[in-house]
Structure 1
Amino acid sequence: MRIQTLLLAAICGIAGLTACGGDRDGGGSVGTGAKRPVDAVLVPAGHLRNDDLVAFVRDSVPAPLHARLRQAWSEGRSRWPLEELPLHGQLPRMIAALSAPDAETTLLAAFDRQFTGADGELRKAIETLAAFGVQYVSNNPDLDDIQRDREIQRLLALSRWAVQAPLTDRARAQAALATLCAAARATGLDSDQALGEAGMDESLRRLSGFLAAVRTVLAGYGLDLEASLAGLDVALERQTGDHAQLRVRYPLAGEAIDVRVDIERHGRRWYRSDRLHRASAAADRDAAAVATR
């Protein structure tokens, strides 16, 4: 696996999962479920801040859907919430590469071959990827205007950070690999089969430590996702019955993100509408659809 793929997967994955997250709301109810509209963002994100993916999933979907997701995971039909991550299909492969007995040595050697003296080439590649990403998001028929705006703001902020980040610094890379390799080995989840055998809850418990390690590594490169989580501001913009829209603002890579998030109420709890839609689709996916992916 090319070191660029590992780096891109880590950046996109962790930033994607923590986007629109945090727990600063002037007296929130983290850990008690989303009783208020703003808690649809604040409660799950508070769990992310605590590196608790099990609790994140528990409070991101209603209990009946959670049970269906667990069953679909055990049958190999779903890997939600990992499917929320960009490049989620690469996750087992990335962990396998980082878990190899000689990973620190081989991946650092790959870094030396691919990144030494390649600052200009890397910047150009990042700019090209960002332009492609914006075009893809803009033309994606599966996204509505709110989702499209949210993804483009995040993509542009991350690409501007990546262009100036010290990604070719060998000493940082060596330290990052040491951290990531140790965390990857601790998961024991180096294949999709391993994810299936562990089950949804146990896989998420193990991956929580890996998530924390990636976030630490990114902070070393100047991408402070803890600041994004801590600096969140969520406000109820409008509500009609069991549907509402939130305004979500937070810092990301030195830029101010300002987006809208649609939410809906089920029972006495609030949830993000887009996340519910994707989770429901994952839970309802049949085995034939999985085989053709």
Structure 2
Amino acid sequence: MPRRSSRSRSHLVFLSLCAVAVLAASCRRSPEPLPGAATEPAAAVRQLVQHLHDNDLAGYARAAVPPAQYAELEAAWARGHSRWPLDELPLHDKLPTLLATLAAPDAETRLQRAFKAQIAGQAASVRQAAHSLGLFGEQYISHQGDYSDDERAHYVQLVRALGDWAQSAPLSDPKLAGSTIATLTAAARATGLDSDAALQEAGMTGSLQRLAPFARAVKQVLAGYGLSLDDSIAQLRTGLVSQQGDHATVHVQYPLAGKDIDLQVALERRQGHWYLARTLAEVDAVLAAARAAALVPGEGDAPPPGTGDDSGDSPAAAAKP
């Protein structure tokens, strides 16, 4: 009898510890929702970032603007008057060059050589460079740039978190560098987007679809260095701060590189759906410029069929003896 009682107590203790562990793990994975999480504006932000989690860049673009604007952006892209949403990225104008560099036949050799010459074995120097860049970025964002107060506060948090991550990440590890280069060069070649002309030919939706696997590869590489963007997105929480008519402010929280990022974003309702107000303003400006450019002959538009100087069907060609 004593043995059986002792075993029973042991089993109960074990089961209790398991229950505590499960509850603790559940608490870590599912923190309390923010107030107003179930409201339409808060849900709209979560639905938008879910596309980024899924590497669905075309789905993100469709969800970011009203359908009529998406169609107009597609047409403006085809005429060379827009590269939205790529122009929301830092150094967006360098993207075709970056892809071309990564897709070059000798990219692996050249990049490995550059890494060995400049970074391999330089852990202390890399950490110092990351520290300096982080300080510079924080100072620049704090005092320069066209940012709202909320955006400025958000970007400062981002720079601090990424700066701290970069200082501790194994950026000078030769083995990781080798796998990183192999992953990114293969993904860049698969896009077939090594020039602005290639982007224009593929179209907006087509380009975003081709870039989706490259975005996945970039996230895979960052996760290898200890920065999991998918985990950050999966743990993102939203809540409602205020709503007045067709305007709302949403509270957003998410972890990044061990830091908690906290911000507020403005949303606007159009045609019954909620969109980020800054994105709408940027797209309104892009489309206004595209409409103006479309009125100027030769501003990015390809010549209509039959009007080229060398076309056998053109009036000029027909007049030739």
Are 2:214 and 1:210 equivalent residues in the alignment?
A: yes
1:117 is paired with a residue whose SS is coil
Are 2:168 and 1:164 equivalent residues in the alignment?
A: yes
How far 1:124 moved relative to its partner?
2.2
In 2, are the aligned partners of 1:74 and 1:197 still within 8 Å (CA)?
Answer: yes
How far 1:53 moved relative to its partner?
0.6
Of 124-133 and 73-82, the range deviating more from structure 2: 124-133
Which deviations, in whole Å up to 9, do the C-alpha atoms of 1:82-129 show, x marking residues without a partner? 111112122111111110112111111111011023222222222222
Q: Which aligned pairs between 1:95-174 and structure 2 lie closer than 5 A?
A: 95-140=99-144, 142-174=146-178
In structure 1, distance between residues paired with 2:91 and 2:151? 18
In 2, are the aligned partners of 1:39 and 1:270 still within 8 Å (CA)?
Answer: no
In 2, are the aligned partners of 1:98 and 1:185 still within 8 Å (CA)?
Answer: yes
2:218 is paired with a residue whose SS is helix
1:261 is paired with a residue whose SS is strand
Amino acid at match of 2:54: N
Amino acid at match of 1:87: L
Match of 1:254 in 2: 258
In 1, are the aligned partners of 2:121 and 2:173 still within 8 Å (CA)?
Answer: no
Which deviations, in whole Å up to 9, do the C-alpha atoms of 1:165-210 show, x marking residues without a partner? 0000010010011111111000000111111111100000000010
Match of 2:284 in 1: 280
Q: Which aligned pairs between 1:215-254 and structure 2 lie closer than 5 A?
A: 215-254=219-258
In 2, are the aligned partners of 1:25 and 1:234 still within 8 Å (CA)?
Answer: no
In structure 1, distance between residues paired with 2:63 and 2:288? 19
Match of 1:181 in 2: 185
Are 2:82 and 1:87 equivalent residues in the alignment?
A: no
In structure 1, distance between residues paired with 2:32 and 2:269? 19
Of 125-134 and 217-226, the range deviating more from structure 2: 125-134
Normalised by the length of structure 2, the TM-score is: 0.77
In 2, are the aligned partners of 1:195 and 1:203 still within 8 Å (CA)?
Answer: yes
Which deviations, in whole Å up to 9, do the C-alpha atoms of 1:18-73 show, x marking residues without a partner? xxxxxx998xxxxxxxx911133111211111111111000001112212211221
Which of 14, 37, 41 is the matching residue for 2:45? Answer: 41
In structure 1, distance between residues paired with 2:235 and 2:227? 14
Match of 1:75 in 2: 79
Which deviations, in whole Å up to 9, do the C-alpha atoms of 1:232-280 show, x marking residues without a partner? 1100111111101011000001110111111110011000111111222
Amino acid at match of 1:231: Q
Normalised by the length of structure 1, the TM-score is: 0.84
In structure 2, distance between residues paired with 1:150 and 1:50? 23
2:41 is paired with a residue whose SS is coil
1:160 is paired with a residue whose SS is helix
In structure 2, distance between residues paired with 1:208 and 1:25? 32
- The list of structure 1 runs, each at least 4 consecutive aligned residues, that deviate by more than 6 angstroms after superposition, is none
Q: Which aligned pairs between 1:56-67 and structure 2 lie closer than 5 A?
A: 56-67=60-71
In structure 2, distance between residues paired with 1:179 and 1:133? 28
- Give me the CA root mean square deviation: 2.0
In structure 1, distance between residues paired with 2:269 and 2:70? 15
Which of 191, 194, 197 is the matching residue for 1:190? Answer: 194
Identity %: 47
Which deviations, in whole Å up to 9, do the C-alpha atoms of 1:217-244 show, x marking residues without a partner? 1000000111101101100111111101
Of 182-191 and 40-49, the range deviating more from structure 2: 40-49
Q: Which has the higher contact order (CA 8 A, sep 6+)?
A: 1
> Which structure has the bigger radius of gyration?
2
Unaligned runs of 5+ in 1: 1-23, 27-34
In 2, are the aligned partners of 1:157 and 1:252 still within 8 Å (CA)?
Answer: yes
2:134 is paired with a residue whose SS is helix
